[in-house]
Amino acid sequence: MAKLNTAIRGVQIADAVAADGLQWDGSDNLAIDVSDFIDTSYGLVADGENIRVNITADIGLHFNAGALEIELDGSTLAVGADGIKLADLTDAYVLVGNVSNVATGVAISGDITLANDGTVAIASGVIVNDDVNSDAAIAYSKLASLTAAHILVGSAGAVATDVAVSGDVTMGNDGATTVTDLTITNEADGDLIYFDGSNWVRVPKTETNGYVLTQQTNGDLSWTAKSTVAEDYIQEAEIQKTVAYGTGAETVFSIGDAAVANSVQVFYEGSLVEEGSGKDYTLTGTDVTFATAPEDGVIVQIHSIKT
């Protein structure tokens, strides 16, 4: 396109604008100077007094035998019956920019799947413990059904399994348990059991007459012939009795010889009285000291077992 020779009437172009694009030439004609605002490589370029379009020969706009054509790479845009359209995209694929920043059709993979109607689904078996928020507070109603009075127990395959409580106890659906049996290894009818502080221990029954159940030095119980068990009886000579009479002033009474611990009994007018601070009397060594002196003529009896 050469200079514009058509006069423009009624329009005044300021000198400040005339240097950028439109400008007056030496013949008072309005001309377009493209050299100041376009690239000389591609696009609009100045060619003497002409302006032409310079187009690259790669993909995009280019000349082919004197015709201006559009060359498409076919990956994102293609030529259809009605003009330019998106290139074909594989069923259920999406366009994703690749490492070369080119939109590329790829399939959704990983923890989700995508159908060709846009439906997204979580893939099977991909949810792990870390995917569940610690504050999720999932309702028990979302758990699979659990049989009444059953509990979840890890199976041999380390899988939580619905099982009934069995063995020596039963459990109701309110969580209450009931002992129905106490199974001991090798148990038999007539056996005795005792708790040794850690476990229940079985004592087999005996058919031998004259045997008694005794505790051994290690704490175990066992049947022992009565004839081998040392007898320990209190002899009459070991029992001591003291009888005294109150004077109204005397508070201390002797029990005689030293007595076995907790064997002293004190009677006031035939009634058993209590030992201890703040009570009827105290015992120190062989002396019984009344808190209040027994009245004159009152009978005081003291029974004990000699050591």
Q: Tens digits of per-residue pLDDT, 55-109?
A: 555 556 666 666 666 666 656 666 666 767 777 889 999 999 999 888 888 999 9
Mean of pLDDT values over 213-229: 77
Residue 217 belongs to some domain of the structure: yes
Please give the pLDDT value at position 64: 63
Please give the pLDDT value at position 297: 92
Is the pTM higher than 0.75? The answer reads no
Residue 36 belongs to some domain of the structure: yes
Residue 208 belongs to what domain range? 192-228
Rounded to 5 degrees, φ, ψ at 45 are -135, 150
Number of compact structural domains in the chain: 3
Residue 186 belongs to some domain of the structure: no
- 252-300 per-position pLDDT tens digit: 999 989 988 888 999 999 899 999 999 999 999 999 999 999 999 999 9
Q: How confident is the model at residue 152 (pLDDT cuts 50, 70, 90)?
A: very high
**Where does a domain end: 228, 253, 284?**
228
Mean of pLDDT values over 239-261: 91
- Other CB atoms within 10 A of residue 297 CB: 10
When the pLDDT of each residue in the chain is averaged and rounded to a whole number, the result is 79
**DSSP assignments along the chain, one per residue:** -----S---S----HHHHTSSEEE-TTS-EEE--TTTS-SSSEEEEETTEEEEE--SSSEEEEETTEEEEE--SSSEEEETTEEEEPP--TTEEEEE-TTS-EEEEE--SSEEE-TTS-EEEPTT---GGGS-TT----GGGSPP--TTEEEEE-TTS-EEEEE--SSEEE-TTS-EEE-----TT--TT-EEEE-SSSEEEE-----TTEEEEE-TTS-EEEEEGGGSPP----GGGEEEEEEE--SS--EEE-SS-B-TT--EEEETTEE--BSTTSSEEEETTEEEESSPPPTT-EEEEEEEB-
Residue 60 belongs to some domain of the structure: no
Residue 172 belongs to some domain of the structure: no
Please give the pLDDT value at position 254: 93
**Where does a domain end: 29, 54, 79?**
54
**Where does a domain end: 228, 245, 280?**
228
Same domain, 224 and 243: no
Same domain, 221 and 245: no
- Whether the per-residue pLDDT at 158 is higher than 60: the answer is yes
Please give the pLDDT value at position 22: 60
- Whether the per-residue pLDDT at 218 is higher than 60: the answer is yes
